Amino acid sequence: MDMLNKLNIYQIEKRAYINGEYVDASDGKVISKTLSFDGREFSGIAACSKEDVDKAVASAKAVYESGVWSKKTPSERKEILLKLADLMEEHLEELALLDTFETGRAYINYSRDSLPKAIEAVRYFAEAVDKLYDESIPVRGTDTAVIKKVPLGVVGLITPWNDPMVVTAWKFAPALLMGNAVVLKPAEQSSLSAICLGKLTKEAGIPDGVFNVVPGYGEEAGKELALHKDVRGVFFTGSAEIGKKIMEYAGQSNMKRVALECGGKGPYIVSDKCNRIAEAAVVLAKNMFYNQGQICSAPSRAIIHKSVYDEFISVLKSESSKYIPGYSFDETNEVGCVVSREQFDKVNRYIELASEEGADVFRPTVTKDKPEGAYCISPAILENVNNDMRIAREEIFGPVLAVIKVDSMEEAISIANDSEYGLAGAVWTDDVNEAFDLTNRMDAGLVHLNSYGNDDNSSPFGGVKQSGIGKDKSVHAFDKYCDSKTIWMHF
Ligand code: NAP
């Protein structure tokens, strides 16, 4: 059975989830868009406005203040979130189909990788929350200061479309577990799985109003959430351009806490002292071209020593032919298509720009038919690139890799760090001193040595410079969703 037909067995909910109920946008507006897996038109997801955001925030605030969630013990909240993770697992197929339908990413990628990771993230945070302690400081003989973690109150989450449930789980799980009430604004390209989550939170036992979903356009629903004076923190993943706006909204309104996970232009250095050139090329191709390069931490700038360049580029070109896009619902295909026609046009403009800037563009031979009506792009490897070109500086967010040849590792690290971004990067070398030196000097939140994309919920994820402020994942993420409060006690 075509997995797309399987979607028919599920009732697709398109309304907002506010105060425990599915509701239309108050002015009846809906999102209309073209789906990228076959070019069909799709309409009907509620496009929330200020009025809907106000309602969601008001219900979140009321339930937060009632204490039915915020005053539960961490172990009580843990049990409920573990139930939610179980329910997400039961609904894994439905969630994966919804995300594939809207974003065009391969179904098996969602069902085998992305959704299991989201569920594991919820379990990780749930299991961790009742192991946290407050602090007590015996300041003087007669005085003690207690430093408590207190929830922020109502928090807004604004998320992107490229890995919808994973990024959402990284935020809603620690936020809820710390006792906050959540209003989530998913990306307009990937709202259905977030909306579906609403009913699962109810079934898991999360009280009405504690978890709300306001789908809609960023300029309207997202902006109103980030400007709202009763929202105490806004936690955003998306582009650096919008991340900067979120900071402005916080400043214009109530100085709410802001955390940002933004884009990247990941440097991938291969040294002349690397003994596994072919492996370095294979790992790069996988991390760069899966999901059509729509990965924030993709290693999109390869910086290769001239003496290993020819071997490296030859393996890379041959590997790239494994990442030809296909029909998103085909269970044998790992590469779906890009998310939208706009993304398709944007990425293709960059490939044209590469030639205009003087780069050589390699595309692997495509032997299979392009899925009918789909917006998909085969990998592009750009050679003869220098780091001043726009194709080396700007995040393309497509299967487009810039390759820069260098004479030395000194030049390599200087190029790697010459970027507005600093999310993730890699160094491939078998010289231990060089490994120590370059991994320490690389200006990024996440650096891989002789590997890429290693991932675990226990390790923080996020960038420096314009890749963001604050980190998702790990026990440190809890701190983002609470304040510290000092209580002085005199005896
Ligand atoms: P985006 O255009 O910045 O949008 C992100 C979210 O912000 C969406 O929900 C969007 O709503 C909303 N938004 C747009 N304009 C807004 C405004 N004026 N006020 C408030 N919210 C607004 O990013 P995207 O295209 O969805 O995602 C791709 C980007 O995310 C890439 O740059 C990628 O690197 C980054 N990303 C980073 C990480 C990380 O962990 N560092 C992870 C994944 C993705 P609409 O959908 O309605 O526009």
Question: At a CB cut-off of 8 Å and minimum separation 6, what does 30 contact?
Answer: 14, 43, 44, 45, 46, 47
CB 460 within 8 A of CB 474: yes
Ligand 1 lined by 160 (C-beta under 6 Å): yes
Nearest Cα to 477, choosing from 154, 71, 178, 160?
Answer: 178
Q: Ligand 1: distance of its center to the CA of 181 in Å? A: 22
> What's phi and psi for 242, nearest 5 deg?
-75, -35
Sole residue written with tokens 């219900």? 59
Ligand 1 atom having least distance to the Cα of 242: 3
Ligand 1 atom having least distance to the Cα of 263: 34
Ligand 1 lined by 338 (C-beta under 6 Å): no
pLDDT in tens, 140-157: 889 999 999 999 999 999
Ligand 1 atom having least distance to the Cα of 216: 47
Burial of residue 363 (number of CB atoms within 10 Å: 0-12, 13-18, 19+): middle
Q: What is the pLDDT of residue 65?
A: 98
- DSSP letter (8 states) at residue 366: P
Low-confidence ranges of the chain (pLDDT < 50): none
Ligand 1 lined by 237 (C-beta under 6 Å): yes
Ligand 1 lined by 158 (C-beta under 6 Å): yes
- Ligand 1, atom 10, lies closest to the CA of 218
Ligand 1 lined by 247 (C-beta under 6 Å): no
Q: What is the pLDDT of residue 1?
A: 58
296 is catalytic: yes
CB 414 within 8 A of CB 313: no
Q: What is the pLDDT of residue 225?
A: 98
The model's pTM is: 0.98
Reduced to 3 DSSP states, what percent helix, strand and coil does the chain have, rounded to the nearest 5? 40, 20, 35
Cα 252 from Cα 267, distance rounded (Å): 35
Q: What is the pLDDT of residue 343?
A: 97
Joined together, the tokens standing for residue 275 give 């003994």
Q: Ligand 1: distance of its center to the CA of 3 in Å? A: 28
Task: Please pick, among 261, 334, 383, 395, the residue that the annotation labels catalytic.
Answer: 261
Q: What is the pLDDT of residue 239?
A: 98
Ligand 1 atom having least distance to the Cα of 158: 9
Ligand 1 lined by 238 (C-beta under 6 Å): yes
- Ligand 1, atom 13, lies closest to the CA of 218
pLDDT in tens, 121-139: 999 999 999 999 999 998 8
Sole residue written with tokens 């320490």? 440
